[in-house]
Amino acid sequence: MRYDPAVGAWGSGPFENDGALDWMNELVAGADLDEALRSAVTEAAYLDVDDGSRAFAAAEVVTAINGHPSRALPKELASHLSEHRMKPSKRRTTLALRALERVLADGSELKELWGEGRDLEGESSVRSL
């Protein structure tokens, strides 16, 4: 995927868009990790690209907390997680899985954007988590 200024994305990975990087900076500044996951799960109607991107990035963070950090994890975020040693949580892992299911469901703008560009990597990246 090439950079799309309308979406603010340059790839289909969890941290390859403006929304996810903005959320990452909020997390490093003290934002609640679970809120990004909850907002995706509780959105009943349409999951917009920003909420979907935050949920995808937050699920990647949960994966890292569970001992499986991705190479996609930005160094600043990896350092933050190392300093703040969050403990794995079954509740949070379940919430992350539910958020990812919502990102891949009908009514998800992120899924629609991946489909329009025939970007199978985006969906594949979500499923690999």
Helix H or strand E encompassing 123: helix 120-128
Name the nearest CA neighbour of 9 among 104, 80, 110, 81: 110
Alpha-carbon distance of 45 to 28, in angstroms, equals 29
Q: How confident is the model at residue 127 (pLDDT cuts 50, 70, 90)?
A: low
- Tens of pLDDT, residues 61-97: 999 999 998 887 899 999 999 999 889 999 999 999 9
pTM, to two decimals: 0.83
77, 18 in Cβ contact below 8 A?
no
Kindly report the CA angle at 104 between 44 and 66, in degrees rounded to 5?
Answer: 100
- Tens of pLDDT, residues 13-52: 888 888 899 999 999 999 999 999 999 999 778 999 999 9
